[in-house]
A and B are shown apart, each in its own frame.
Chain A
Amino acid sequence: MLNQTQPLVTLQNAGLNRGGRWLVRGIDLSVRRGEVVTLIGPNGAGKSTTAKIALGLETPDEGSARRTTGLKIGYVPQQLSIDWTLPLTVRRFMSLTERVSNTDIREALDDVGIAHLADAEIRYLSGGEFQRALLARAITRRPDLLVLDEPVQGVDFGGEIALYDLISEIRSTLGCGILMISHDLHVVMAGTDSVVCLNGHICCQGHPHTVAKSPEYRELFGGRAATALAVYEHAHDHTHLPDGSVRHADGSLTEHCHPEDGHHHEHDEEHPALPDENTHA
């Protein structure tokens, strides 16, 4: 078994140079078991590049990237297109890189809310459904380290919250470390242990509170983004699951969210309160 406190992956002063240009440089970060580290930053900041260095897909030209031996990785890449010539059902896709039992497949698909699509062909899935299938595939491997490159792209807002909840749940049930790239500042800032704000280099990093207050972060994302954390922290006490039912903070499930059942707080009918600043990251 892997050591509990030792980092699963460590980047030290890592940099990647392509065609004489540094895509990223001076990256220091580590992910431990049970820890969620989120990379944020504008387009071209090197978020995916940093993730690829951490995964070992790119060898740093400077500095080092170390992974513990025998590390089992689950990866959700940012871009994955399935050629239409490939006959591939969701079920077969689940055991793409290793054989997985039917029970595990059903469980994982159930977790992400697409159990009914097990025998559907991948190419007929919508963007959001495909993203859920990708996440299910990565978690069904029971990895030590989960690397998620924009795991909720194309997922509707209610589903997004449910998936982020699932991701933090996975962290505790599997006890894995999670390295995540995300654009949803308001969610990231609340569900993350450590935020690394990238812009070719690390512009700031640390606990979400610290990062949100730092001048570098405000400069990069604009003053309005700083309120993203505050917006989220009005604390949702329930989430809307994909099938329309509602999960409350105490874990109970109901068909709807009734204001009188004591589970409710102020927000509009259908969706968890949309932050009035939908961040422009």
Chain B
Amino acid sequence: MLDDFFVRALIAGVGVAVVAGPLGCFIVWRRLAYFGDTLSHSALLGVALALLFDTNITVAVFGVSAAVALSLMLLQRSATLSSDSLLGLLAHSSLALGLVVLAFMSWVRVDLMGFLFGDILAVSNTDIAMIYAGGLIVIVTLVLIWRSLFAATVNLDLAAAEGLNPTRANIIFMLLMALVIAIAMKIVGVLLITALLIIPAATARRFARGPEQMAILAAVIGATAVIVGLFGSLEWDTPSGPSIVVAALALFLLSLLSVIGLLTRRPAPQWDKRS
């Protein structure tokens, strides 16, 4: 028999994974893994601010992540520091700032571990509604800007010259990232969100023949990782967020094995030989 809270966790987790997969593909393609980390670390500052001003946590996290994302875009344009230094600076200072602000508020009792590593077993029906509403917004928007965003990923100048609006697509993409982080925080926590974005996409890369296929595969693989991870955590009484990430890692390692198997069994396609 499955308990109510466990079914809610499954529904919420699958919802987040399905949204994180396609977005994660762009993070892999654009080499933005560290950028994703920075945004998710800054989410803790959002939590602190939400508690301080007694507002909705998801909304506050989205606001802070979006602000950090947009200011990063601006800072990179007038770069006096290399991007990776800039990201490191913002990621850890916002995380530290969040922790310090939380410590100051002695009147609120905060389950810090819940924010850092997620607390998927405590999701409420409201959380699920938030996840599915937010997720729907992300997916629909992503489908709408897909061609521009993908063309801009291949080559910004080319996309701009041929009449797409890559800068607008990039800004919308940043906002979508902030939104996903806000809704995923409850599931895996700020420290592990990037894993949920990247690992399923990296696994999908080994099988995909096209970008759209890779996005769908990443969603399926992410959902599988959530299901396997949650049942694993129930079975062995391990923390749920980290268990999901471990399950995603296991799928990635399995994909490595199967690729090695494919290579030894089947001759490489014709065009492989010429490279």
Most chain B CB inside 10 Å of its own CB: which residue of A56, A89, A97, A124: A97
Return the chain A residue nearest B210 by Cβ: A92
- Residues of the B chain whose Cβ atoms lie less than 8 Å from the Cβ of A117: 271
Main secondary structure on A side of the interface with B: loop
Determine if A103 is an interface residue (Cβ-Cβ < 8 Å). Answer: no
- Note all chain A residues with C-beta closer than 8 A to B251: none
Residue of B nearest to A56 (CB): B161
| B208 on the A face (CB < 8 A) | yes
B271 engages A124 (CB within 8 Å): yes
The answer to whether A77 and B155 touch (CB under 8 A), given A85-B29, A97-B163, is yes
Least Cβ–Cβ distance between B238 and chain A, in angstroms: 31
Contact partner of A86 (CB less than 8 A), chosen from B147, B159, B211, is B211
Shortest CB distance B216–A (Å): 12
The answer to the question of A141 belonging to the interface, with a C-beta cut-off of 8 Å to chain B, is yes
Q: A80 within 8 Å of B by Cβ?
A: yes
Partner of A77, one of B150, B157, B208, B210: B157
Q: Which residues of A contact B275 (CB under 8 A)?
A: 123-124, 126
- Whether A97 contacts B158 in the complex (CB less than 8 A), given A85-B28, A85-B205, comes out as yes
B31 at the interface (CB under 8 A from A): yes
Query: A74 to B154, Cβ gap below 8 A?
Result: no
CA distance A181 to B208 in the complex (A): 36
Annotate A116-129 by CB proximity to B: 1 below 8 A, 0 otherwise: 01001101111000
**Which of A83, A89, A97, A123 sits near B162, CB closer than 8 Å?**
A97
Q: Which of A57, A89, A93, A125 contacts B161 (CB 8 A)?
A: A57
**What is the chain A residue whose CB lies nearest that of B162?**
A97
Which residue from chain B places its CB closest to the CB of A72 in the assembled complex? B163
Which B residues are in CB contact (< 8 Å) with A55? Answer: 157, 160-161
Q: List 5 A-B contacts (CB under 8 A).
A: A73-B163, A74-B162, A82-B154, A88-B211, A97-B164
- Residues of A at under 8 Å CB distance from B? 52, 55-57, 72-75, 77, 80, 82-83, 85-89, 92-93, 96-98, 117, 120-121, 123-126, 141, 147
6 smallest A-B Cβ distances: which pairs?
A120-B271, A75-B161, A97-B162, A55-B161, A87-B208, A124-B271
